[in-house]
Structure 1
Amino acid sequence: MKFSERMGYTKPKDIIQYESIDDDLKNDLWNLYYGNYLEAAEYQDIYLLPEDFKTYFKKLWTDFLKKKINEIPEQAYTFIKLVETDFFDNTKAWYFIYDLIEYTFNTFDFRTIGDKSYFNHQIESQLNSILEKNLSGYRFINTQFVPITNDQEIASINEASKNNTEYKTVSAHFNKALELLSDKKTPDFSNSIKESISAIESYFKVFFNNPNIKFGDALNNLEHKHALDKQIKESINKIYAFSNNVGAIRHALKPGETSDKITLAEAKYMLVTCSAFINYLKETATN
């Protein structure tokens, strides 16, 4: 805590930023974005830049900013100033900045960097430190901003979403659940829950090498042959029942039902719980 906050001269932040980005957070995000993606190119002609920078600038101009290619500035300095103006334009929706950083992270092809995965890991780490420090309600997980704030939750989802050959379908379901949960314009909480549950079903199919195995049969097998704890089994069964009984998750709406009863809190809980269960199985069921 700062001196001014300890002494009561200023008030520390105590409000999670879910649908806003204050000036402190905006400045920190700009500094990270500018320092890692723009600064090295600032005083050069765009068409003389290395291919990775040149390609990114063109894509950002036409694909993200939706501007005419023949109007792209010749100087990178001018280009960056225009992007900066948009970045700090208070008339734009608050999520423009998150959209821009997501787009950049997933588009910029650093051909001049030897270990791209290490660089991206560093960016993720820096981003999450900034988000945590500024009480953002989001964290950067698997290339996108997700409305999750707990370090243990992030670690659980990251571990369960690891894309290995054997369980790539599990990873695909979790990544889709994240995508649906984190869509800042039109989040789809019902289908996010569906994808979280489908990740468990997919795990069962691979683990038992049976594409037709039923959810309950898989749990019974895990309990009797792989020492799955009975209480954990029952809790997962209840989660599965929830996804089957609440409208528009795993079946069509019943008369009088609406899908808007599903909330962010429920979708987030399901994502975290399902990922934690997968990680538990990986640690115990294979022994």
Structure 2
Amino acid sequence: MRFSERYGYKPVRDIIQKESINLELRNSIWSIFNDCFWNKKHDYGRWNYYRDSNLRNLIYSYWFNLFKEPTDTIPLKTIDAIKHIRSFFFRCEWHTIYSFIEETLENYPEQYSVKEEVFITLMNRLLEKENSAYRIINNEITPITSEQEIQSIEDALINTNPYSSAQEHLNQALKLLSDRQSPDYRNSIKESISAVESICKIVTNDEKATLGKALKIIEDKLGLHPALKASLSQLYGYASDSDGIHHAMLQESNLSYIDAKFMLVACTNFINYLIEKTK
């Protein structure tokens, strides 16, 4: 992860790829297509010729539905058709890449050595690794991160400018969540919680306050609704209790991007709420 990402200078929406695809992700998506389709010459039948290949229907669908080009312009040789597909892929808009994936799933070759579920698994793993805001669900590209969630994270990073300790925890949570080489979802969750604890201590002016004590002070001082306080206490039960024992959820080995993103968004929502309440 580069300096601009580690220290919060790169916009959140550039880290979480929503309504965009960077070159690294585009290259990697193409590589999956290359490995699953274009390099599988033994699956082509008489692979030299497009019309004899079991990729025929897939290639035809690209021309008809995506390229919007006359189908009689499809090259006779499969390799030439692939060159045309590649040229289109690397010059099209970000959203067309996702349409390209959906078109492939809708016209996936039958009796093919790379099963459709394998292709989907490879693609979803890549989308998670590269912090795309989308996944393949029920053979459709589906957003898993909303504009409101990204806005909440961005607002919290701005709102915590006067509170360096809370901001550092948020930046670290985002860094650990979005590290493409070695994401650390467990510690990202801990950092998100630490950001809330930090802002609570600042608001209550008590460096030794536990989260539970801080919420009680905030409730008395700012009029925090008891039901909201209770829900926050349960949500942030992932944090250490009075004996320093971590919640069992943080000991699980299957924590995912979704878990860490949920906690980051939930914590930034509360931080934004709390800062607004104190104005």
Q: Given the two structures, how large is their TM-score scaled by the length of structure 1?
A: 0.46
Tell which has more relative contact order, 1 or 2 (C-alpha 8 A, sep 6+): 2
